[in-house]
Amino acid sequence: MYAKNDKRRLFWLMKCYLDGLISESTFCDEFYYSYDLEIRRSSNTLCQKEFSLFEELDAISSRYSPYQSDHKLDPQAFTTKQQLKDKIYEVFIKLTHQENPLQISPQNQKNSPNI
């Protein structure tokens, strides 16, 4: 696991989510703690492409709601599980094709992460 101010944690969180090891709510909470409260404040740790893509992901993850009643109330105000999943996948693919800063071993993938 990585410190909350380490950008590798963002890649790790995306990988854990895509592997089904953490829920949407856990991903959104932990992404907020790491990106919004730590990494974004010291923007010199991200290249322009990373910053831009993490900003897009932040816009989606910060509006995620698992509740149908929220989506019925105002469908434009909240994002769905599918929208979140699609954006995480898109950002992960775009950034890991640039470089792969994180390798999670198959052994670590089997166990639920300690967040």
Per-residue pLDDT of the chain (115 residues; tens, 9 = 90+): 799 999 999 999 999 999 999 999 999 999 999 999 999 988 678 999 999 999 999 999 999 999 999 999 998 999 999 999 999 999 999 999 844 444 444 444 445 566 6
| Res 114: pLDDT | 66
* DSSP-assigned beta bridge partners for residue 79: 64
Domain boundaries, the chain: 8-110
Instruction: Count how many residues are written for the chain.
Output: 115
User: Are residues 41 and 16 in contact, defined by beta-carbon separation less than 8 angstroms?
Assistant: no
Q: Rounded distance, CA 37 to CA 83, Å? A: 23
pLDDT of the residue at 43:
65
Distances (CA, A) of 74 to 25, 71, 81: 19, 5, 15
Cα separation, 95 vs 21, whole angstroms = 20
Residue 42's pLDDT is what?
80
